[in-house]
Structure 1
Amino acid sequence: MAKALIIVDVQNDFCEGGSLAVAGGAALATEISEMLAETTDFDFVAATQDWHVEPGSHFSETPNFRTSWPVHCVAGSKGAALHRNLDTEDIDAYFRKGKYDAGYSGFDGLLAPEDEVAVGEREAHESAAENNESPVSLDDWLRDNDIDDVVIVGIATEHCVRATALDAVNAGYNTTVLRDFVAGIDEDAIEETLEELEDAGVEVK
Structure 2
Amino acid sequence: MSAPVTSSQRPALIVIDVQRGFDDAQFWGPRDNPDCERNISTLLAHWRDRQWPVVFIQHDSEHPDSPLAAGSPGHEFKDVVSGSPDLLVHKSVNSSFYGTPDLDHWLRSEGIEQVVICGITTNHCCETTARMAGNLGYETYFAIDATHTFDRATPEGETVSAAMLAKITATNLNGEFATVLRTSALLDALAGTGAQQSRVFSPNWK
Taking structure 1 as the reference length, the TM-score comes to 0.69
Compute the displacement of 1:203 (Å). 0.3
Q: Deviations over 1:64-113 (max 9, x none)?
A: xxxxxx623111221111112x1422522211111xxxx01111121xxx
Q: Identity of paired residues, percent?
A: 29
One-letter amino acid of the counterpart of residue 106, structure 1: S
**Cross-structure match for 1:106:** 96
Compute the displacement of 1:183 (Å). 0.8
One-letter amino acid of the counterpart of residue 96, structure 1: H
Question: Superposition RMSD on alpha carbons, in Å?
Answer: 2.4
Which shows bigger deviation, 21-30 or 157-166?
A: 21-30
Q: Deviations over 1:2-41 (max 9, x none)?
A: 3100001100111355843663687533431233224546
1:92 aligns with 2:86: yes
Q: Using a 3 Å threshold, how does the CA distance of structure 1 residues 108 and 21 change in structure 2: closer, same or farther?
A: farther
Q: Using a 3 Å threshold, how does the CA distance of structure 1 residues 104 and 18 change in structure 2: closer, same or farther?
A: farther
SS at match of 1:105: coil
1:72 aligns with 2:37: no
Compute the displacement of 1:184 (Å). 1.6
Distance (whole Å) between structure 2 residues aligned to residue 108 and residue 18 of structure 1: 29
8 Å contact from structure 1 (residues 4, 44) kept in 2: yes
One-letter amino acid of the counterpart of residue 177, structure 1: F
Where in structure 2 are the equivalents of 1:124-139 lying within 5 Å? 136-139=101-104
Aligned length in residues? 161
Q: Using a 3 Å threshold, how does the CA distance of structure 1 residues 104 and 42 change in structure 2: closer, same or farther?
A: farther
Structure with the largest fraction of helix: 2
SS at match of 2:97: helix
Taking structure 2 as the reference length, the TM-score comes to 0.69
Structure 1 segments, 4+ long, off by >6 Å, are none
1:44 aligns with 2:89: no
